């Protein structure tokens, strides 16, 4: 380990760069801090000697760096976007542990009995911000170029991203070596930096920009792409009374379980009333389960839409729990299979978006669904979630007796929502196409994934492949195989869930 630090070995370079008569040795122009910070991105030492930025310079460096980063990350979202302040602030937690470990690592360089000079810590912090900025500014433009061409495999993006992360880690460690004299403390610093980086990427990765779905839908409507316009529900006492009567009629009409036969029951849940694609998709899935899986009359279809208050029970969290409990009472909870299909917009926190005009509807979460299924004692479960970021539902719902399919992984959006769409890409490929050819959920999913990827490329999906996910519990696989064989051997009678 070279005994380098910003206060001694680099003094000659700093003096050569700017004459002593032009600038005091401990104060440098802002442009020098920017230039020398960018120099460190090439693994070169900064030529600032013992100088440290003034409070005003540090504030400008931080604000300018954040402004450049915000402008760059805006390229990750094509079209209208919303800015989320909380998600912009979330990653800044890393400054606390990094400042502490930098202060601790620099401590051996102090004179006996003297604390670490504050100027040295401020100088390190300024370099840390701008040293790591350059690689972060490169990724969004590269991603945008790849997104535009559309035919570059997702692995290319992952490789580029990993290279940039490794580059950032390397240049920050190299720059920090100039402030740390101890090899042991440098290694500890590198370990902490790696840990903070890993946690940031795995658990606290937020993007301050998100697609403005309302603006996209409005633009679609104005351009004539939408087939139907959203209508607000007219709430009245008669509507509420009809909902209660409708609920009782549908629960009473559920057929009882047939002994010695694996019956398929279904629960289709569509809580977002403001885009007709979810109404169409949930109706398609409800009809498909009855037609293809011998589930005639055994499917509850909960739907939020202004035109269906007299025909469909509202899709609210309370009704979801009540429906699961009612199905659990009617079916054989140890033998039969419950298929749950949820379709809506999804959020990064893995909540399922709900909206029904002036009727307040809370979002649904994976924990809520898991608790309702466990409370009902329903063992065999096939759950499909057609929503953005829906991969985050798998871990909370996974059991040995469950098969779970999601339209995306936990960090990507899915595609095909909006009034201009007939069905989402996931619902169309898995249910409307593949499950009309096979009774195997795993085969349908496997065959659908490349179709979804191809269609997203053709549509120039702008934030990467949705990457649908599947979990197949060890105990449910044999039961599903037996069900598949029964349905393949005996033609099922045709039934349909009339489209609302």
What pLDDT was estimated at residue 93? 84
Q: Which residues contact 474 (CB under 8 A, 6 or more apart)?
A: 400
Binning pLDDT at 50, 70 and 90, where does residue 132 land?
confident
- In whole angstroms, what is the distance from residue 195 CA to residue 191 CA? 6
What's residue 329's pLDDT?
95
Sign of the alpha-carbon dihedral angle for 288, 290, 293, 299: positive
Beta bridge partners of 402: 381
CA-derived radius of gyration, the chain: 29
> Which residue from 309, 224, 296, 201 is spatially nearest to 258, judged by alpha carbons?
296
Does the pLDDT of residue 9 top 80, yes or no? no
At residue 231, the pLDDT reads: 63
Distance CA 339, CA 345 (A): 20
* Cβ atoms of residues 1 and 109 within 8 Å: no
Give bridge partners of residue 385 from the DSSP assignment.
342, 406
Q: What is the reported pLDDT for 18?
A: 39
**Local confidence band at 162 (pLDDT 50, 70, 90 cut-offs):** confident
Lowest mean pLDDT among 61-75, 209-223, 366-380, 429-443: 209-223
Is this structure's pTM higher than 0.85?
A: no
Q: Give residue for tokens 């603006």.
A: 215
What is the three-class DSSP state of 245?
helix
Digit-coded pLDDT (tens) for 288-337: 999 999 999 999 999 999 888 889 999 999 999 999 999 999 999 999 99
Domains of the chain in start order, with CATH, are: 11-211 (no CATH), 236-489 (3.40.50.1460)
Percent of the chain with pLDDT over 70: 81
- Low-confidence winner among 147-161, 211-225, 430-444 (lowest mean pLDDT): 211-225
Side-chain-side CA neighbours of residue 89 (13 Å): 3
What stretches of 307-365 show up as alpha helix (H) in DSSP?
Answer: 317-330
By the 8 A CB rule, do 338 and 287 touch? no
The Cα–Cα gap between 117 and 323 comes to 65
C-beta separation of 335 from 262 below 8 A: yes
At 150 the pLDDT is 46
How many Å apart are CA 127 and CA 135, to the nearest integer?
Answer: 14
Read off the pLDDT band of 233 (50, 70, 90). confident
- What residues have CB less than 8 Å from 105, skipping those under 6 apart? 176, 179, 180, 182, 185, 186, 188, 189
Q: What pLDDT score was predicted for residue 290?
A: 94
Question: What confidence tens digit (pLDDT) does each residue in 76-108 have?
Answer: 766 677 787 877 777 788 889 999 999 888 876
Ramachandran angles phi, psi of 290, nearest 5°? -75, -35
Please say if the pLDDT value at position 474 is more than 70.
Answer: yes
> Are 409 and 470 a contacting pair, CB within 8 Å?
no
pLDDT tier at 386 (50, 70, 90 boundaries)? very high
228 has a pLDDT exceeding 80: no
Burial environment of residue 385 by CB neighbours within 10 A (0 to 12, 13 to 18, 19 or more)? buried
- According to the model, what pLDDT value does residue 203 have? 57
């Amino acid at each position: 380990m070279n005994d380098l630090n910003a206060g001694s070995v680099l003094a000659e370079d700093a003096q050569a760069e700017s004459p002593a008569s032009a600038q005091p040795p401990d104060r440098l122009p802002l442009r020098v801090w920017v230039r020398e910070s960018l120099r460190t991105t090439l693994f070169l030492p900064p030529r600032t000697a013992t100088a440290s930025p003034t409070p005003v310079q540090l504030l400008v460096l931080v604000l300018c760096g954040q402004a450049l980063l915000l402008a760059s990350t805006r390229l990750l979202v094509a079209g209208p976007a919303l800015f989320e302040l909380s998600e912009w602030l979330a990653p800044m937690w890393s400054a606390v542990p990094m400042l502490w470990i930098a202060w601790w690592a620099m401590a051996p360089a102090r004179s006996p009995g003297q604390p670490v000079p504050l100027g040295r810590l401020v100088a390190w912090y300024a370099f840390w911000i701008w040293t790591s900025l350059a690689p972060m500014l490169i990724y969004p433009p590269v991603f945008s170029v790849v997104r535009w061409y559309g035919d570059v495999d997702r692995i290319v993006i992952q490789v580029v991203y990993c290279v940039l992360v490794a580059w950032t880690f390397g240049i920050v460690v190299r720059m920090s070596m100039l402030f740390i004299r101890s090899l042991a403390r440098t290694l500890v610093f590198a370990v902490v930096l790696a840990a903070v980086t890993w946690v940031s990427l795995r658990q606290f990765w937020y993007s301050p920009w998100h697609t403005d779905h309302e603006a996209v839908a409005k633009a679609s409507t104005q351009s004539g792409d939408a087939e139907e316009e959203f209508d607000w529900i007219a709430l009245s006492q008669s509507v509420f009374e009809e909902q209660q009567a409708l609920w009782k009629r549908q629960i009473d009409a559920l057929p009882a379980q047939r002994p010695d036969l694996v019956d398929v029951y279904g629960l289709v849940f569509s809580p977002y009333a403001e885009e007709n694609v979810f109404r169409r998709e949930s109706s398609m899935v409800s009809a498909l389960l009855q037609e293809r899986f011998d589930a005639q009359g055994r499917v509850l279809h909960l739907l939020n839409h202004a035109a269906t208050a007299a025909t469909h029970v509202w899709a609210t969290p309370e009704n979801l729990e009540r429906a699961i409990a009612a199905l659990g009472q009617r079916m054989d909870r140890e033998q039969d299979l419950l298929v749950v299909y949820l379709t809506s917009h999804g959020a990064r926190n893995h909540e399922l978006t709900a909206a029904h005009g002036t009727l307040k509807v809370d979002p649904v979460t994976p924990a809520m669904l898991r608790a309702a299924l466990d409370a009902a004692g329903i063992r065999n479960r096939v759950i499909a979630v057609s929503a953005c970021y829906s991969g985050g539902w798998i871990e909370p719902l996974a059991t040995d007796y469950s098969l779970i399919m999601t339209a995306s992984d936990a960090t990507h959006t899915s595609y095909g929502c909006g009034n201009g769409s007939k069905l989402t890409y996931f619902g169309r490929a898995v249910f409307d196409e593949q499950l009309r050819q096979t009774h195997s959920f795993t085969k349908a999913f496997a065959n659908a994934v490349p179709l979804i990827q191809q269609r997203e490329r053709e549509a120039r999906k702008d934030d990467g492949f949705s990457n649908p996910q599947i979990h197949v519990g060890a105990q449910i696989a044999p039961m599903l195989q037996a069900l598949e064989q029964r349905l393949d051997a005996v033609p099922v009678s045709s039934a349909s869930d009339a489209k609302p």
